[in-house]
Amino acid sequence: MHILLVEDSPTDADLIRQNFLRLGKEQWRLTHVERLSNAIAQCQENSFDVVLLDLGLPDSDGLETVAEFRASVPIMPVVVLTMMDDEELALQVMAHGAQDYLVKDQITTQLLVRSLRYAIEREQIFQQLKNSERKILSAWEQEQELNLLKSSFISMASHEFRTPMTTIRTSVELLQKFDRELTEQKRDDYFERIKAAISQIIHLLDEILLLGSGEAGGLRYQPEPLDLEKFCADLTENLRFSHSQHCTITAEYEGDCSNAVMDAALLWHILTNLLSNAIKYSPSGGNIRFSLLCQSGTATFQVQDHGLGIPLKDQSHLFETFYRCSNVGKIQGTGLGLAIVKKCVDLHQGDIQVNSELEKGTMFTVTLPIEPSNSK
């Protein structure tokens, strides 16, 4: 047992040392200091099993001695030494964090050993209780967060699924009721609406499943050789085709991007979400700038629009699940896209930054290593 004795009286220190000598030196090791400041310094530099702490010291006196010591050394069994046999003082000492209390002129070897061992056991039990409390609080916080996510999901799902489901139901009812009266063109229009609504539902489900996979650790980073310029050109062309009447996308490429090693599926989610958002929140006929720069082992992707912009108060919450900016109005969205983007960027050990100004537009910058590090 390694004991720190904090006692400024040489006579009292010798009496306590004599009690320990009766136990045999193989059972204990004693370090003696005379000031509280020295005791705190010793505890920060060495490991002790228990502290014998005198209340009256040159640099501290009374209950403040215990309070100051416990504030500086919160995890340490403390047995207080005092000249006064005062039950009220004993209770106050315990309330300030000591585990036990000894009156100097009543100390015997047996009492001293028992008090030290009890103090160590009480401190261990106290720390176990604190750890249990922290675990319970952590579990409670996780449960509260989960309940909030469930509530957000239900709210999002009921809103976002309602529109395409209503479109499907209305189109089917019209086809059933007026099938013989509809022209071929009108019938095709209804079928196209149904297909578009089904695609919207599938996209929502894909986002939810992808995010759920990420939360459960199922989203995997699987790098492969990739020609980034060709990959981005193909992706951009697909988006141009599907949004040709809404926005134009201008693509720029710089540097040698042909020998990258990245996860194509994750990169597709990153860029598709960023470009789709840029289109969604831009005015009709707006221009989206998409650029790729490869240099010094890094690929930098930038997506810039001239649309709504993001309020400053929302920018710190952008990558939170189900979070939507306060100025989006009735523009549809799940609040999942940027959360997915962030997870995919993190799996690449990359970085994403946003620069936005209201009514002037937004620019997202994603920086990814062209090749995975050895730690992957």
- Record the pTM: 0.53
Backbone angles phi, psi at 359, to 5 degrees: 65, 5
> Is the C-alpha dihedral spanning 152, 153, 154, 160 positive or negative?
positive
Tens-digit pLDDT string for the chain (376 aa): 888 999 999 999 998 888 888 877 667 888 999 999 999 999 988 889 899 999 889 999 888 999 999 889 888 899 999 888 888 888 888 888 888 888 888 888 888 888 888 888 888 887 788 888 888 888 787 777 666 666 666 666 666 677 788 888 898 988 888 888 888 898 888 898 898 788 778 877 777 677 666 554 557 889 999 999 999 999 998 887 766 566 788 999 999 999 999 999 899 989 998 998 898 888 776 889 999 999 999 999 999 999 889 999 999 888 887 777 888 877 766 677 888 899 899 999 999 999 999 989 999 999 999 998 754 4
Report yes or no: 373 and 359 within 8 Å, Cβ to Cβ.
no
**CB-count burial class (<10 Å; 0-12, 13-18, 19+) for 197:** buried
Report yes or no: 16 and 112 within 8 Å, Cβ to Cβ.
yes
Domains 2-131 and 224-369 share a fold: no
Confidence (pLDDT) at 373: 76
Report yes or no: 211 and 321 within 8 Å, Cβ to Cβ.
yes
CA-only gyration radius of the chain, Å: 34
CA distance 116 to 173: 83
> Mapping DSSP to helix (H, G, I), strand (E, B) and coil, where does residue 283 land?
coil
CA distance 162 to 81: 73
Smallest CA-to-CA distance from 371 within 298, 266, 265, 292 is with 298
Confidence (pLDDT) at 216: 47
Confidence (pLDDT) at 86: 81
Smallest CA-to-CA distance from 43 within 20, 75, 66 is with 75
100-103 and 78-82 as β-strands: parallel, antiparallel, unpaired? parallel
> Mapping DSSP to helix (H, G, I), strand (E, B) and coil, where does residue 206 land?
helix
Evaluate whether the domain defined by 224-369 bears CATH number 3.40.830.10: no
Query: Residue holding tokens 């009108």?
Result: 186
Confidence (pLDDT) at 323: 75
Q: How far is CA 119 from the centre of its chain?
A: 37
CA distance 196 to 202: 10
Confidence (pLDDT) at 166: 84
Task: Return the domain boundaries, the chain.
Answer: 2-131, 161-215, 224-369
- Cα atoms in the Cβ-side hemisphere of radius 13 Å centred on 334: 27
CA distance 298 to 220: 21
Second-level CATH architecture of 2-131: 3-Layer(aba) Sandwich (3.40)
Confidence (pLDDT) at 376: 42
CA distance 8 to 57: 6
- Cα atoms in the Cβ-side hemisphere of radius 13 Å centred on 41: 7
Confidence (pLDDT) at 333: 66
Buried b (16+ CB within 10 A) or exposed e, 250-269: ebebebebeebebbeebbeb
CA distance 359 to 311: 10
